[in-house]
Amino acid sequence: MANSNSRRSFITKATMVAAAAPLVTFGQGYQNAVDKNEKLSAPSDLKITDIQCGIIGGSLFVKIFSDQDIYGCGEGVDAIRGAESLALGFGRRLRGQSPFNMHKIFEDIRRGGHFGGGQSGMYVAVLSAIETALWDLTGKALGLPIYQLLGGKFRDKVRVYCDTALYRVRFPSPEDFATAAKDAINNWGFNALKFDIDYASDPDKYDRYNWTASPGEIIRMYDQLAAVREAVGPKIDLCVDMHGRYDHVTAQTIAKKVEDLNLTWLEEPIPAENYDAFKTLTEETSTPISAGENVYLGHGFLQLLNNGVDIIMPDLQKCGGLGEGQRIANLANLYYVPFSPHMVASFLGAMACAHVCASVPNFHLMEWQSYFHTNEMYKKIVIYDEGDWVKDSFVTVSNKPGIGVDLNIEAMKEYKRGDAPFFE
């Protein structure tokens, strides 16, 4: 068999590599990695052939296929209801292209949606899933983990905080808060926790449309958080989320009131749409203010940073994907602002996010969901053979090619709903 299409002959074409892939390693180390990963043809010949997708819960999963029996997986969240047709439409544009050109593909699709929603929402969430799958496919083709494609890593492990999901309790007491905190520490080993304090069922709430918290609500919020701080001591990170459901007056009041509790952050006490409103809020309190889970692309985060947000929290499964996530983190680093991504995806999405967290200097904390420990579905739908998902509040970043986590399509079929396209 002729060897003109071999990987070793491909190495000699350095200029082709530079043009085709966003690689950051070169020379003998790169050559060895490529040589160990024999495929049907040279990486430069890799072409996308098809895309399949399916929705489970709040996640859109995509799988991008190539002509070398390699595929890449990605995930988008939240703004994905009914997004299958959009994903498949994007997929038709990918056929015949090289996945190595993921930045060009991303930009072509984003610009192509200028009048079709390409600034935010479902359009960008679906694009995030596809962009992530392109990174996974490229990493597998080259035998390199995604963090290496992103420029290498600053850390081997990524520290996570546990969302205790106490919101499932209709109206938890301060004692419930304290118990949930101790359970997360004692049962799962976390040293960073998050609690929600926005409760529509609070009997002291004025009405469901009034964003001003009553004095009773403020007392309840403080008492719940004070119970946690007393239960866990001063060294546990305590993150607090208000889901953008209050006005500026309430945000000022609660941010000042909890200053003695030494919160890691107060997350979105006001909606993120009015960036200017954050400026006065952050200037008036020593409690760090975080925001960003519903902000899209780097443009939105530039406005948050220019208005003094203390910690940014992009969701990489909907803000634009892994490349955009790294760009947002690097932008924040210029403002000396920590990068603490929001994460409500499966373990596929969590590990994809961890690759980006490892690749930037200003990473702070990554969100981790308690459903990974309590809902068997999340174990079934992915394939991962590198040990514990999380240990002592850290996720070890996979060194396998691509993301390092695969989808179990057969297991996923058990959880699909309706007759929408599902990996077919």
Q: Report how many helices (DSSP H) and strands (DSSP E) the chain contains, helices first.
A: 17, 13
Distance CA 77, CA 73 (A): 14
pLDDT, residue 36, reads 55
Q: Is 82 helix (H, G, I), strand (E, B) or coil?
A: coil
CA 65 to chain centre: 23
DSSP state of 398: P
Q: What is the per-residue pLDDT across 74-105, written as a single tens digit (0 to 9) for each?
A: 999 999 988 999 999 998 999 999 999 999 99
Query: Domain 157-400 carries which CATH code?
Result: 3.20.20.120
Q: What is the per-residue pLDDT across 374-385, written as a single tens digit (0 to 9) for each?
A: 999 999 999 999
Distance CA 44, CA 26 (A): 15
Give kind and range of the element (H or E) at residue 412. helix 409-412
Question: What amino acid occupies position 327?
Answer: R
pLDDT, residue 418, reads 84
Residue with tokens 């080993």: 189
Question: Which of 355, 344, 369 shows the shortest CA–CA distance to 132?
Answer: 355
Q: Range(s) for CATH 3.20.20.120 in the chain?
A: 157-400
pLDDT, residue 37, reads 52
Distance CA 314, CA 121 (A): 13
Q: Range(s) for CATH 3.30.390.10 in the chain?
A: 7-144
Q: Which CATH architecture has domain 7-144?
A: 2-Layer Sandwich (3.30)
Strand partners, 366: 160
At 325, give phi and psi (nearest 5°).
-60, -40
At 240, give phi and psi (nearest 5°).
-135, 135
Q: Is 424 helix (H, G, I), strand (E, B) or coil?
A: coil
Q: CA end-to-end span of the chain, whole Å?
A: 35
pLDDT, residue 1, reads 39
Give alpha helix (H) positions in 65-214.
84-94, 102-112, 121-142, 146-149, 174-188
Give the number of other CB atoms < 10 A from CB of residue 171.
11
Distance CA 141, CA 133 (A): 12
Print pLDDT tens along the chain (424 aa). 344 344 334 333 433 333 344 444 434 444 455 455 554 456 668 999 999 999 999 999 999 999 998 999 999 999 998 899 999 999 899 999 999 999 999 999 999 988 888 899 999 999 999 999 999 999 999 999 999 999 999 999 999 999 998 877 778 999 999 999 999 999 999 999 999 999 988 999 999 899 999 999 999 999 999 999 999 999 999 999 999 999 999 999 999 999 999 999 999 999 988 999 999 999 999 999 999 999 999 999 999 999 999 999 999 999 999 999 999 999 999 999 999 999 999 999 999 999 999 999 999 999 999 999 999 999 999 999 999 999 999 999 999 999 999 999 999 999 998 888 899 8
CA 422 to chain centre: 23
Vertex 73 angle, CA 68 and 77, to 5°: 160
